[in-house]
Amino acid sequence: MRAVLLSTLVVLIANTYADGAGPARTRLEQFGNGLENLEADFTQIIMSQDGRVQDMSQGNAWLKKPDKLRWVYSGDFPETIVADGKNVWIHDEALQQVTVKPQSHRVADAPLLILTDVSQLDQQFSVTELGEFEDMQLLELKSLAAETEFERIIMGLDPAGIRMMIMEDAFGQRTEIRFENIVRNSTIDLQLFSFVPPDDVDVVGEITTAE
């Protein structure tokens, strides 16, 4: 139960840096400096409040500055999430359904977008250094917004950059994501960040068209 162990360690090693420039923050800023795009593989585990594993999945992610994201789950229940800068599209292939909603300007709703503009971090989050875990420096983010999808986000960074994200919601559910095979600033097909619903699916939600 790696996530439960991490929760315990966070309590034991929590350490706030008064100047906000601890080792995890430094690594995040170094990784975000000059970042234009990113691609990576990921493994995701979702755990309930009592530590039971509810779901395990893997897939691929692509990120492009300033606000575009593609997140693809593979396996028996494939799903594609595309943030195109105006809308967030969620395509559940098993249900043959696409859900669309306006894309929020708050990176708290899509935490990986933190990497595209680290300078906005303190405007949207209360930031705390949490020390070291598994050769990573941990950074805790708590949204300053009144309403947010996640109660807290923990980022794990090694000298090469982002390696882990943990997101906890108000119900105690924890999502742990581990990244590997990270590639910075490669040539990425921009069509990855464009989504057109297939003809054979139901589309649910609100589409934003304004510039």
Domains identified in the chain and CATH numbers: 2-136+152-205 (2.50.20.10)
What pTM was computed for the model? 0.83
- How far apart, in whole angstroms, are the C-alpha atoms of residue 211 and residue 202? 25
Placement of tokens 């950074």 in the chain: 139
- Please determine, for residue 20, whether its predicted confidence score (pLDDT) is greater than 80: no
Mean pLDDT over residues 70-91, rounded?
92
Which of 14-18, 67-71, 162-166 is the least confident region? 14-18
Mean pLDDT over residues 136-152, rounded?
89
Using one digit for the tens of pLDDT, what is the confidence trace for 52-66? 999 999 999 999 998
Q: pLDDT-based confidence at 105, cuts 50/70/90?
A: low
pLDDT reported for residue 114: 84
What are the residues whose beta carbons fall under 8 Å from the beta carbon of 138, sequence distance 6 or more? 10, 24, 129, 130, 131, 132, 154, 155, 156, 157
Using one digit for the tens of pLDDT, what is the confidence trace for 145-197? 877 888 899 999 999 999 999 999 888 899 999 999 999 999 999 999 999 99
Q: pLDDT-based confidence at 83, cuts 50/70/90?
A: very high
- Please determine, for residue 205, whether its predicted confidence score (pLDDT) is greater than 70: yes
Q: pLDDT-based confidence at 73, cuts 50/70/90?
A: very high
- How far apart, in whole angstroms, are the C-alpha atoms of residue 136 and residue 185? 23
pLDDT reported for residue 138: 97
